[in-house]
């Protein structure tokens, strides 16, 4: 029997609706790696909610439509969460060869909580047993050394395989490199584009990172030329975009998303995080005050069909933890550490990290 054409398979699959996104899976571009041979069809399908019952439902829907249009065929579907990343290829591993995933944390607008989020993601993943690195690439105001209580430290220099390499500073199980280690924190440094890219490149290639599951990069705010240059020279596997629910921040978050989707970059967006979603006073933990509007990022995620990774409240303890150099996720069983842990779980589902 003749194998069906690719177009025939896609036509049949276009009758399958993604339950959360309420549109067909082909129009949403959720089908990839389609292979047809020996009456066998296999493909990868992205879904918004990878819970078991959801996977089962959508698998059955695909099988049903393929049977209806093309008859009995063997079907094999690899279901992955929307926004999931791929492990780095051998080609990408020329720099930082032992690093499996490199995740950029970005926002369009400044001051929305990028560094706080990056610090909590890195410390939280490390606490879970992952091997984690963190690059603070914020050329305008590196804040990671303070958030990790390593302001007074500097990377050591070590000779490895005949090459002088920097050894990252370490705290809470996270290996840290910051652009702040190269400049006097009290003096404003004006990094111009090429200089900033060079410094960033050095943080990839001249640092002894070793074997790591993931490295997070705290990017400077903005979406200008300097960002494109920084990103083009970075082997990034995925991006997380953070915003407050406020309209001006959302407008800039859109610019950030467009930047990653730029044809020269095409960096997959793992998902969106809403920070400062509501204010909750420590003494009234059930109260929520929507200072910057409600659910702005949730609406954006629905509109752009990008995964929503979580909402983080504005709480004094988040700021205090950042200022005292111990990320809030490390607190024992507080409401805020639970919020970060759930967020980390959602990010983990999107990272293609097969066990080693």
Restricted to residues 15-44, the positions that interact with ligand ATP (CB under 6 A) are none
113, interface contact from ligand ATP, Mg ion, none, CB < 5-8 Å by kind: ligand ATP
Instruction: For residue 155, give the 3-state DSSP assignment.
Output: coil
Q: Tokens at residue 33, please?
A: 């790696």
Out of 115, 127, 244, 311, point to the residue binding Mg ion (CB under 5 A).
115
Give the containing element (helix H, strand E) for 227: helix 225-232
Question: Which residue's CB is nearer to Mg ion, number 242 or number 267?
Answer: 242
- Give the CA distances from residue 36 to residues 19, 42, 78, in Å, rounded to whole numbers and listed in that order: 26, 7, 14
For 68, phi then psi, to 5°, come to -60, -40
Give the containing element (helix H, strand E) for 331: none
CB 120 within 8 A of CB 340: yes
At its nearest, how many Å lie between Mg ion and the CB of residue 110?
7
Which residue, judged by CB position, is nearest to ligand ATP in the bound state?
110
Q: Which residue stretch of 49-57, 111-119, 193-201, 342-350 sits at the interface with Mg ion (rule: CB under 5 A)? A: 111-119
Residue 230 interacting with ligand ATP (CB under 6 A): no
Residue whose tokens read 């065929």:
73
Residue 146 interacting with ligand ATP (CB under 6 A): no
Question: Which residue's CB is nearer to Mg ion, number 124 or number 221?
Answer: 221
Question: Which residue's CB is nearer to Mg ion, number 4 or number 222?
Answer: 222
Residue 217 burial (CB count, 10 A): 25
d(CA 210, CA 188): 32
Restricted to residues 315-354, the positions that interact with ligand ATP (CB under 6 A) are 315, 318-319, 322
At its nearest, how many Å lie between Mg ion and the CB of residue 103?
16
Residue 115 interacting with ligand ATP (CB under 6 A): yes
103 torsion bin: left (phi>0), alpha (psi -120 to 50), beta (else): beta
188 torsion bin: left (phi>0), alpha (psi -120 to 50), beta (else): beta
At its nearest, how many Å lie between Mg ion and the CB of residue 116?
8
Q: Which residues bind ligand ATP (CB under 6 A)?
A: 107, 110-116, 138, 141, 143, 221, 275-276, 312, 314-315, 318-319, 322
Q: Which residues bind Mg ion (CB under 5 A)?
A: 114-115, 138, 143
């Amino acid at each position: 029997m003749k194998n069906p054409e690719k177009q025939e398979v896609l036509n049949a699959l276009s009758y399958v609706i993604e339950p959360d996104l309420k549109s067909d899976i082909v129009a949403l571009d959720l089908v990839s790696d389609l292979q047809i041979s020996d009456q066998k069809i296999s493909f990868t399908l992205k879904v918004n909610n990878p819970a078991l019952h959801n996977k089962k439902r959508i698998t059955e829907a695909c099988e049903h439509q393929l049977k209806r249009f093309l008859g009995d065929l063997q079907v094999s579907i690899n279901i992955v969460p929307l926004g999931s990343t791929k492990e780095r290829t051998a080609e990408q591993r020329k720099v930082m060869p032992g690093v499996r995933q490199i995740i950029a944390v970005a926002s369009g607008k400044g001051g929305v909580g990028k560094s706080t989020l990056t610090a909590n993601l890195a410390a939280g993943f490390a606490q879970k047993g992952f091997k984690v690195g963190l690059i603070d690439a914020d050329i305008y105001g590196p804040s990671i050394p303070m958030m990790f209580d390593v302001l007074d430290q500097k990377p050591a220099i070590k000779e490895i395989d005949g090459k002088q390499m920097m050894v990252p500073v370490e705290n809470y199980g996270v290996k840290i490199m910051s652009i702040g280690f190269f400049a006097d924190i009290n003096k404003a440094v004006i990094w111009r584009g090429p200089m900033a890219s060079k410094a960033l490149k050095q943080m990839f290639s001249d640092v002894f990172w070793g074997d790591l599951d993931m490295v997070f990069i705290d990017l400077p705010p903005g979406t200008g030329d300097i960002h494109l240059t920084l990103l083009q020279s970075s082997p990034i596997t995925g991006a997380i975009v953070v915003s407050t629910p406020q309209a001006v921040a959302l407008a800039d978050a859109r610019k950030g998303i467009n930047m990653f989707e730029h044809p020269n970059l095409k960096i997959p967006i793992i998902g969106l995080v809403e920070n400062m979603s509501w204010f909750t006073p420590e003494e009234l933990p059930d109260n929520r005050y929507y200072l910057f509007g409600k659910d702005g990022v949730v609406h954006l995620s629905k509109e752009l069909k990008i995964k929503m990774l979580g909402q983080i409240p504005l709480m004094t303890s988040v700021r205090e933890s950042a200022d005292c150099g111990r990320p809030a996720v490390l607190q024992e069983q507080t409401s805020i550490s639970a919020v970060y842990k759930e967020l980390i779980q959602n990010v983990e589902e999107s990272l293609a990290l097969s066990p080693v």
